[in-house]
């Protein structure tokens, strides 16, 4: 028995040494992949092609896409009830949304036009222009942060919408394409990667992905099958209570999740 125990201990030690040597040969530690735990599941409008999701003072605001069906809405988190909704023009495809000061800022996909909406009445206050496509939108304390479907994040002045800088988001030195819905969470930029179950946790200074959150299997939790659901999209952070909510396009559920450490 003693010999067997010794051999097992020796074998585990050897395996650990080989793994460590492998990482050292790569020159860096592997980027961690985090799991998740569902804290709560709530109803969500399964007709909403979710493009932007934010938490403001106890309520959710959501922007939706598709030509002729794009909206900006105020949603009761616990029930999913749409308390108020306005239509965007039929010829624009709604995209990401955030709040700046007290106004909602909404992007459109390929029209190059952004909308500034009054938060309470959802009436349009003004519009602005930007180059290229609009995908996700969030903000740091200092500026707006926008994605456009590439690996780049643009940092914009929140008053003039002028572009201040761009950053290429990378994982192991390679660009991470299809950055979609965004959320500023605890000093990081979190980004849905379009057509995947992954959220990238991005260092806003360097653009480096410091971790991945794998939400594979999330949709199947908390209720009946959802055959019409599309991709994961939509992250909202309740900064005051430090809670994270996620949903997807045509998802019938919204989830509050906790991120779980790897392994």
Provide CB contacts within 8 A for 64, sequence distance 6+.
48, 49, 50, 51, 70, 71, 72, 73, 94
Going from the C-alpha of 119 to that of each of 38, 85, 150, 236, the distances in angstroms are: 29, 11, 29, 16
Segment interacting with Ca ion (CB under 5 A) among 146-154, 181-189, 199-207, 249-257: 181-189
Q: For residue 27, which phi and psi values (nearest 5 degrees)? A: 85, 0
Q: Which is nearer to Ca ion, 8 or 186 (CB)?
A: 186
Please work out the total of residues on this chain that contact Ca ion, with binding judged by CB under 5 A: 3
CB of 223 to Ca ion, least distance (A): 23
Strand partners, 113: 129
- Rounded Cα–Cα distance for residues 95 and 87 (Å): 13
Site string for Ca ion, 18-57 (x = CB under 5 A): -----------------------------------x----
- Rounded to the nearest whole angstrom, what is the least distance from the CB of residue 217 to Ca ion in the complex? 22
Please report how close the Cβ of residue 108 comes to Ca ion at its closest, in angstroms.
16
**Could you tell me which residues are beta bridge partners of residue 73?**
62, 85
62 binds Ca ion per the rule CB under 5 A: no
Residues facing residue 202 across a β-bridge: 189, 209
Residue 133 in contact with Ca ion, rule: CB under 5 A: no
Site for Ca ion in 229-248 (CB under 5 A): 235
Of 53 and 104, nearer to Ca ion (C-beta) is 53
Under rule CB under 5 A, residue 183 binds Ca ion: yes
d(CA 189, CA 199): 10
Q: Which is nearer to Ca ion, 148 or 183 (CB)?
A: 183
* Residue closer to Ca ion, measured from CB, 10 or 242: 242
- 255 closest CA partner among 9, 41, 77: 41
Phi and psi at residue 26, in whole multiples of 5°?
-75, -15
Contact indicator for 49, 66 with CB cutoff of 8 Å: yes
Strand order in the sheet with 71-75: 50-56, 59-64, 71-75, 82-87
Name which of 208 and 235 has its Cβ closer to Ca ion.
Answer: 235
Considering the complex, what minimum distance in angstroms separates the CB of residue 21 from Ca ion? 41
For residues 88 and 261, which CB has a smaller minimum distance to Ca ion in the complex?
88
Nearest residue (beta carbon) to Ca ion = 183
Q: How many CB atoms lie within 10 A of CB 95?
A: 30
Nearest residue (CB) to Ca ion, 10 versus 93: 93
CB of 191 to Ca ion, least distance (A): 9
Residues near Ca ion (CB under 5 A): 53, 183, 235
């Amino acid at each position: 028995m003693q010999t067997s125990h010794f051999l097992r201990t020796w074998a585990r030690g050897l395996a650990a040494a080989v793994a460590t040597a492998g990482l050292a040969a790569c020159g860096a530690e592997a980027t961690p992949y985090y799991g998740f735990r569902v804290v709560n599941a709530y109803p969500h409008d399964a007709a909403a092609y979710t493009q932007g999701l934010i938490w403001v003072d106890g309520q959710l605001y959501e922007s939706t896409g598709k030509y002729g069906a794009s909206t900006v809405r105020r949603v009761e988190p616990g029930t999913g009830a749409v308390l108020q909704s306005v239509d965007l023009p039929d010829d624009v495809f709604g995209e990401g949304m955030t709040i700046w000061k007290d106004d909602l800022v909404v992007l459109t996909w390929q029209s190059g036009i952004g909308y500034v909406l009054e938060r309470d009445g959802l009436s349009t206050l003004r519009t602005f222009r930007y180059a290229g496509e609009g995908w996700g939108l969030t903000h740091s304390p200092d500026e707006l942060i926008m994605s456009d479907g590439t690996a780049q994040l643009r940092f914009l002045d929140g008053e003039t919408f002028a572009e201040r800088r761009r950053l290429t988001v990378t994982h192991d030195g390679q660009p991470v394409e299809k950055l979609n819905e965004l959320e500023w969470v605890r000093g990081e930029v979190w980004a849905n990667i379009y057509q995947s179950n992954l959220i990238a946790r991005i260092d806003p200074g360097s653009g480096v992905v410091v971790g991945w959150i794998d939400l594979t299997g999330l949709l199947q939790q908390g209720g009946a099958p959802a055959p019409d659901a599309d991709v994961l999209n939509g992250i909202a952070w309740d900064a005051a209570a430090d809670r994270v909510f996620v949903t997807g396009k045509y998802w019938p559920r919204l989830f509050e999740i906790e991120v779980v450490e790897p392994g």
